[in-house]
Amino acid sequence: MAEKVLLIDDEKYFVETLSERMRSRGMDVSTATSAKEGLEKAEHEYYDAIILDLMMPEMNGIEALVALREKNPDLQIILLTGYATMDAGIEAMKLGATDFLEKPIDIKTLTEKIKEAHAKKMILVEKRKREKIRQAIMEKSNK
């Protein structure tokens, strides 16, 4: 099954190029050229990983990361930046980013990170399912 990825970056050429490279590696890629558009798509679709640019107008990647994680704490978000700073990377990881990578991005590295994010998400989903089943069993046994 192909990894389903949402790519959010305000640089249209970058989005087109990277999404095409990801598709050629068998990924199902959706794109957004603003954080607002990305948030909307993430609210209505399931994604294995979200690739999010740090520096965008209107809403930056950190603000978008916080908004995305508030709606769905299981989202696997990889931040990309052409202006990497240690502080931004640390802040992003503290706020729940799965990873933090610098542009220009190595497609092989990104592909590996997406596969890791997909595996991590599957583990989280499975844990939640087991917890719901456990809670249902506990509720029935208390009746």
**DSSP helix/strand/coil, 29:** strand
The answer to whether the bond into 73 is cis (omega within 30° of 0) is no
**Is the model's pLDDT at 107 over the cut of 80?**
yes
SS3 state at 66: helix
Residue 29 in this model has a pLDDT that exceeds 80: yes
| CATH number attached to the domain at 4-141 | 3.40.50.2300
* DSSP at 11: -
SS3 128: helix
Query: pLDDT tens digits for 120-143?
Result: 888 888 888 899 998 989 888 886
Average pLDDT value for residue range 89-118: 88
User: pTM to 2 decimals?
Assistant: 0.85
Q: What size, in residues, is the chain?
A: 143
Closest CA to 113 of 95, 97, 92: 97
Backbone angles phi and psi of 2, in degrees to 5: -70, 145
What percent of the chain is predicted at pLDDT more than 90?
52
Amino acid, single-letter form, for residue 55: M
Tokens 């979200």 identify what position?
A: 50
List of residues 6+ apart from 62 with CB closer than 8 A: 54, 88, 91, 92, 95
Q: How many CA atoms lie within 13 A of 108 on its CB side?
A: 0
- Residue 15: name the closest of 2, 1, 41, 85 by CA: 41
Structure tokens that stand for 95 in this block: 């706020």
